[in-house]
């Protein structure tokens, strides 16, 4: 099976690209409070290195984090020892009864396994709906078409002992985004190179909202988590499970 977010990319993502998770956390906690969810279990799908889980546990929630990357889970377990973390695909893992489900950082877009390679993740939404307690909420964000408006874009970011180069190309006919990622990380006196290619299916927020409605959720589309504005062509969806089946 192809590996994603291997050791070096997991490290670089954790130390160099942690703003998204940390800056979105206050807004997510505010959304939970607005839905009167102030305690209980949050299942964090695509939990990465545990940055969101860290903020949720600080606020008094129990957290179960799921991620397909073993190196990411290793970092998360060290960061948040009082949370539970499991290695697995968010499209396959059993979701236990919980008060909230989160998925921060366009995790639902990634085509890391065959179950994710469908037109819309409706099966996942059905499983989340079944797991949520009445009045529970699912909070997640997606990447929409328009990530790359023309041709191929290239860029790089560097830290104290690492460099990452990213090449992005969008196929508008198939709504696919291809990311080629090259990392260089210093190990001793030398730099170690690694390469990964990630594919994402790009979804329109309104189409995802329609699928959530079909499952039974009440849905709100946002362009920010509180004061933290999402990047261009991204949307957050707040899917609430009615407090009683009669309200569906």
Give tens-digit pLDDT for 50-79.
999 999 999 999 999 999 999 999 999 999
Residue 115: predicted pLDDT: 58
Domain locations in the chain as residue ranges: 7-145+203-243, 152-200
Residue 246: predicted pLDDT: 46
Provide the 3-class DSSP secondary structure of residue 127: helix
Q: Give the global pTM.
A: 0.94
**Arithmetic mean of pLDDT, 199-206:** 97
The correct CATH number of 7-145+203-243 out of 3.40.50.2300, 3.30.428.10, 1.20.1050.10, 3.40.50.150 is 3.40.50.150
Cβ neighbours around 87 below 10 Å, total: 15
Residue 12: predicted pLDDT: 97
Residue 23: predicted pLDDT: 97
CATH topology of domain 152-200: N-terminal domain of TfIIb (2.20.25)
**Arithmetic mean of pLDDT, 213-242:** 97
Q: Over the range 39-73, which residues count as b (16 or more CB within 10 Å of their CB) and which as e?
A: eebbbbbbbbbbbbbbbbbebebbbbbbbbbebbb
Average pLDDT, the chain: 94
Give tens-digit pLDDT for 118-154.
556 899 999 999 999 999 999 999 999 999 988 899 9
Compute the radius of gyration of the chain from its Cα atoms: 18
> How far apart are alpha carbons 21 and 30 in whole angstroms?
14
| Residue 30 Cα distances to 24, 27, 59, 159, 238, angstroms | 10, 5, 11, 32, 12
Provide the 3-class DSSP secondary structure of residue 232: coil
């Amino acid at each position: 099976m192809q590996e994603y977010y291997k050791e070096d990319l997991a490290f670089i993502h954790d130390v160099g690209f942690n703003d998204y998770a940390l800056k979105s956390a206050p807004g997510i906690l505010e959304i939970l409070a607005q839905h009167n969810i102030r305690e209980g279990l949050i299942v964090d799908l695509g939990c990465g290195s545990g940055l969101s889980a860290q903020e949720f546990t600080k606020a008094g929630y129990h957290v179960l984090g799921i991620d397909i990357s073993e190196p990411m889970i290793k970092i998360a377990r060290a960061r948040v020892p009082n949370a539970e973390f499991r290695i697995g695909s968010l499209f396959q893992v059993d979701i236990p009864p919980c008060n909230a489900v989160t998925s921060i950082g366009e995790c639902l877009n990634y085509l890391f396994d065959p179950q994710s390679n469908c037109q819309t993740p409706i099966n996942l939404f059905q499983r989340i709906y079944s797991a949520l307690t009445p009045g529970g909420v699912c909070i997640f964000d997606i990447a929409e078409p328009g990530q790359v408006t023309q041709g191929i874009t290239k860029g790089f970011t560097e830290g104290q002992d690492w460099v990452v180069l990213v090449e992005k190309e969008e196929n508008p006919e198939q709504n696919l985004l291809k990311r080629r990622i090259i990392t260089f990380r210093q190990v001793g006196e030398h730099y170690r190179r690694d390469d990964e290619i990630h594919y994402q299916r790009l979804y329109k927020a309104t189409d995802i909202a329609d699928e959530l409605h079909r499952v039974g959720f009440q849905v709100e589309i946002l362009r920010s988590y509180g004061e933290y504005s999402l990047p261009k062509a991204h949307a957050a969806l707040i899917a609430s499970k009615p407090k009683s089946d009669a309200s569906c």
